[in-house]
């Protein structure tokens, strides 16, 4: 079974005929552009016979190539709107389709023996098709992400069952809003769960209210996360969704494990599932992440060291008190360390913490008090720009922190964690992370934990780079920081 067949397909925002037309036009265009590069610009190799510069003999082959591209894209499922399909997978499908089309056109050259042939030109055609085809898919992703950020083309999702699997599903939706899913709430038959909001996601009661909630919340998709032992109830809920015309999805029991831990093998048509250890960062991953951290910190040392010196001078000139604030934090697997920050509060502010949290009504597991009177004038600027965290780079150099990862909590905060929330302590904490680029202080603690867990289970160098790049505008715009 191909990867495409195992993923969910949703209706496209654009007309179904749009991309086939674009691909056919691009195929004809790249054939003409390749001719220009080969015969007019004569890139790589000169044309020795001036008489072989007529484009007319190539026109029939260009149309055949365009049709072959369309057929191969169709056969490889490139026109299916697969939710969660990576851009690199689309590039691979384009490349394999182009390879087949080029081989067929090359075979036609040998069969029909036209007066004008250039195998080098076909290489240009292949390369240009992959470049233009991949670029159009990337632009489409950017446009769809922008539209979804404006509430256009999203799927309003109701989650049924907010256990471990339901939380995992919600975590993916929160961590990857570009997929186009917006959770409108959840149902759960356990009273202490179904009546308590999960972050900003509304608790809507038990499953007996499914039909009512679907209508009142204008639900597009219902995702059921119950275990298969509740098969009868799942069937009843599915029938309700079908009766209301609502799309329904069921998460299999296997989702109790991260799907990245599952390997699928084939024994003469019999699928075999294997499971890898639950180790989010193996030796090579850890080494790769550490190498990137050290390289970036060392290369940028002249810049951040200069900024640190200026900030230290400004804090000293503002008044009495230490320049650097040290606080005990909890790192990887519960190990404690002293995290360094520029002091942004009045001396002795930490002694007032418990009283301030109680008076503000903030979540004590992740208190972020707006307009905190303990913050100094210089400290307010440092917090708004996140420059107070620059000394964290010394923690990075010591291996206590990483550039990207979950923010390290205090020991008192960890004491209030529920068991599932301690999973965010499985790796080295970071200076920035998914929740920081998704709203920073505005993100509730439960959602922050889901995003941290998603990061741990789906880590890659590309994700770290993306988070670092997204952090820059967030910091410059001072979004969600106080």
Same domain, 463 and 436: yes
Domain ends where: 149, 170, 204?
A: 149
Residues 357, 426, single domain; the answer is yes
> From first to last of its 482 residues, what are the pLDDT tens digits of the chain?
333 333 445 556 678 888 899 999 999 999 889 888 877 767 766 665 555 567 777 888 899 999 999 999 998 888 887 766 778 889 999 999 999 999 998 888 888 777 667 777 888 999 999 999 999 999 998 888 788 777 777 889 999 998 888 888 898 888 888 788 889 999 998 888 888 888 888 999 999 999 999 999 999 999 998 887 888 889 999 999 999 988 898 887 665 555 555 666 666 667 666 655 555 666 788 888 999 999 999 999 999 999 999 999 999 888 788 899 999 999 998 999 999 999 988 887 777 777 777 777 777 777 777 777 888 889 888 888 889 999 999 999 999 999 999 999 999 899 999 888 998 998 999 999 888 887 666 778 888 898 998 898 888 888 898 899 888 877 766 655 55
Cβ atoms < 10 Å from Cβ of 166: 24
Residue 319 in domain: yes
Residues 165 and 145 occupy one common structural domain:
no
Specify the DSSP element, H or E, that contains 223: strand 221-224
What's the pLDDT score for residue 480? 52
8 A C-beta contact, residue 447 and residue 174: yes
What pLDDT sits at residue 331? 93
Report pLDDT for 7: 43
**Does any domain span residue 24?**
yes
In a domain, 270, yes or no: no
Same domain as 75, residue 16: yes
**pLDDT score, position 238:** 92
Task: Enumerate residues 6+ apart whose C-beta is below 8 A from 280.
Answer: 426, 427, 456, 457, 459
- The CA distance from 340 to 329, in Å, is 10
* Maximal C-alpha separation, the chain: 89
Q: Are 455 and 463 in contact (CB under 8 A)?
A: yes
User: How far, rounded to the nearest angstrom, does the alpha carbon of residue 273 sit from its chain's CA centroid?
Assistant: 26
Q: Please indicate, yes or no, if residue 365 is contained in any of the structural domains.
A: yes
3-class secondary-structure state, position 331 = coil
* Same domain flag for 338 and 429: yes
Whether 338 and 203 map to the same domain: the answer is no
Determine, yes or no, domain membership for 161. Answer: yes
Both tokens of residue 141? 């992703």
| Count of structural domains within the chain | 3
Q: Check the CA dihedral 191-195-199-200 and report its sign.
A: positive
Residues 177 and 236 in one domain: yes
From 174, 155, 148, 145, select the one nearest 249 (Cα to Cα).
Answer: 155
Q: Could you tell me the CA-to-CA distances from 403 to 2, 244, 281, 431, 467 in Å, in that order?
A: 37, 48, 15, 5, 10
The answer to whether 4 and 12 are in contact (CB under 8 A) is no
Q: What predicted TM-score, i.e. pTM, was given to this entire model? A: 0.69
- Residue 42 forms part of a structural domain: yes
Q: Is 452 in the same domain as 389?
A: yes
Instruction: Give me 66's structure tokens.
Output: 């365009």
195, 221, 256 - which closes a domain: 256
Q: What is the pLDDT of residue 1?
A: 35
What the block records as the tokens of 33 is 């552009």
The answer to whether 405 touches 348, Cβ cutoff 8 Å, is: no
Q: Are residues 17 and 103 in the same domain?
A: yes
CATH of the domain at 250: 3.40.50.720
In a domain? residue 328: yes
Work out the angle at residue 95's Cα, subtended by the Cα atoms of residues 89 and 97, and round it to the nearest 5 degrees. 105
Residues 107 and 138 in one domain: yes
Residues 342 and 465 reside in one and the same domain: yes
68, 173: one domain: no
State which of 111, 129, 149 marks the end of a domain.
149
What one-character-per-residue DSSP string does 77-106 give? TTTS-BTT--HHHHHHHHHHHHHHHHHHHH
Is 481 a member of any domain?
A: no
| Domain encompassing residue 460 | 283-476
Q: Distance of CA 455 to CAs 14, 206, 325, 364, Å?
A: 31, 30, 28, 23
């Amino acid at each position: 079974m191909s990867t495409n067949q195992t993923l969910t397909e949703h209706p496209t925002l654009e007309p179904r005929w749009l991309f086939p037309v674009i691909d056919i036009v691009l195929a004809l265009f790249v054939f003409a552009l390749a001719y220009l590069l080969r015969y007019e610009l004569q890139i790589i190799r000169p044309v020795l016979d001036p008489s072989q510069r007529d484009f007319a003999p190539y026109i029939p082959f260009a149309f055949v190539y365009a049709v072959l591209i369309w057929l191969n894209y169709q056969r490889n499922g490139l026109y299916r709107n697969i939710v969660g399909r990576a851009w690199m997978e689309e590039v691979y499908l384009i490349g394999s389709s182009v390879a087949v089309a080029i081989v067929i056109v090359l075979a036609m050259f040998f069969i029909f023996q036209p007066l004008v042939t250039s195998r080098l030109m076909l290489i240009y055609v292949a390369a240009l098709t992959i470049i233009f085809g991949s670029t159009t898919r990337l632009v489409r992703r950017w446009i769809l992400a922008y539209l979804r950020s404006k509430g256009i083309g999203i799927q309003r999702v109701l989650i049924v069952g907010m256990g471990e699997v339901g939380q995992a599903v919600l975590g993916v939706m929160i961590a990857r809003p570009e997929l186009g899913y917006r959770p409108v709430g959840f149902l759960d038959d356990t009273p202490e769960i179904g009546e308590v909001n999960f972050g900003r996601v509304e608790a809507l009661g038990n499953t007996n209210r499914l039909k009512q909630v679907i209508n009142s919340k204008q639900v597009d998709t219902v995702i059921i996360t119950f275990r298969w032992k509740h098969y009868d109830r799942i069937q009843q809920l599915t029938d309700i969704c079908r009766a209301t015309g609502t799309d329904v999805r069921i998460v299999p029991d296997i989702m109790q494990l991260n799907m990245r831990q599952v390997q699928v093998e084939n024994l003469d048509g019999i699928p075999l599932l294997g499971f890898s250890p639950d180790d989010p960062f193996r030796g090579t991953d850890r080494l790769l992440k550490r190498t990137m951290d050290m390289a970036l910190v060392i290369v940028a040392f002249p810049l951040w060291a200069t900024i640190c010196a200026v900030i230290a001078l400004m804090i000293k000139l503002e008044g009495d008190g230490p320049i650097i604030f040290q606080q005990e934090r909890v790192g990887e697997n519960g190990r404690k360390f002293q995290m360094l920050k520029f002091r942004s509060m009045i001396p002795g502010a930490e002694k007032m913490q418990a009283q301030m949290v109680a008076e503000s009504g903030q979540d004590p597991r992740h208190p972020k008090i707006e307009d905190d009177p303990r913050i100094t004038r210089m400290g307010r600027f440092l917090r708004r720009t996140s420059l107070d965290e620059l000394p964290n780079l010394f923690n990075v150099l010591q291996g206590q922190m990483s550039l990207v990862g979950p923010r390290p909590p205090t020991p008192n905060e960890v004491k209030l964690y529920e068991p599932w929330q301690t999973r965010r302590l499985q790796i080295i904490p970071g200076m920035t992370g998914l929740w920081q680029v998704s709203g920073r202080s505005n993100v509730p603690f439960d959602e922050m934990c889901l995003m941290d867990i998603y990061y741990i289970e789906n880590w890659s160098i590309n994700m770290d780079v993306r988070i670092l790049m997204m952090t820059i505008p967030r910091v410059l715009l001072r979004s969600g920081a106080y």
